[in-house]
Amino acid sequence: MEEKCPIESTLSLINGKWKQMILKELSQGPVRYGQLGARISSVSSKVLTQQLREMEHDGLIRRKVFPEVPPRVEYSLTEMGASIFTVFKELRRWGLEEDAMHRGKCSFCGQCQPLFQGERQGDGR
């Protein structure tokens, strides 16, 4: 197991092109694999599976298989996964406050508004 400092360790958990978006999608309740792929349209199934596996391994999300035909798999946040939104909140707060060049919006922040209620210092775009 890699021995990292807390900062690097935390960063490594959210390092992955689609992880924030996955976390966001799961934040509103369990989602099936296919649904995830549909909502994050430009991710390939290979990479999606890859990132899901990593996040599951890291304890951020949970994978539940239903023994049915056709197969059903639901992903959901763990407590730990839910708690990392405090980190996103700080990253976002600092970004809005200090960084000049984020006039853009991304699929995450365009809709992350509801995740950060009570914070009203910008509208995410």
Partner DNA sequence: CTGTATCCTAGCCGATACTG
Partner DNA sequence: CAGTATCGGCTAGGATACAG
Binding track, positions 21-60, relative to a second copy; x by CB under 8 A: --------------------------------------x-
Which of DNA, a second copy, none is residue 105 near (CB under 5 to 8 Å by kind)?
Answer: a second copy
Residue in 29, 46, 67, 101 binding a second copy, rule: CB under 8 A: 101
The closest of 94, 18, 108, 10 to 59, measured between CA atoms, is 10
CA–CA separation, 46 and 58 (whole Å):
18
Contact in structure between 108 and 21 (CB atoms under 8 Å): yes
* 47 touches DNA (CB under 7 A): yes
Residue identified by tokens 């995450």 is: 108
Q: Least distance (Å) from DNA to the CB of residue 8?
A: 12
Continuous segment of H or E residues that includes residue 7: helix 6-13
Stretch that binds a second copy, among 37-45, 48-56, 61-69, 89-97 (CB under 8 A): 89-97
With respect to a second copy, which residue has the nearer C-beta, 68 or 99?
Answer: 99
First to last CA, the chain: 39
Measure CA 116 to chain center. Answer: 14
Catalog residues that contact DNA under the rule CB under 7 A.
Answer: 15-18, 32-35, 42-47, 49-53, 63, 70-73
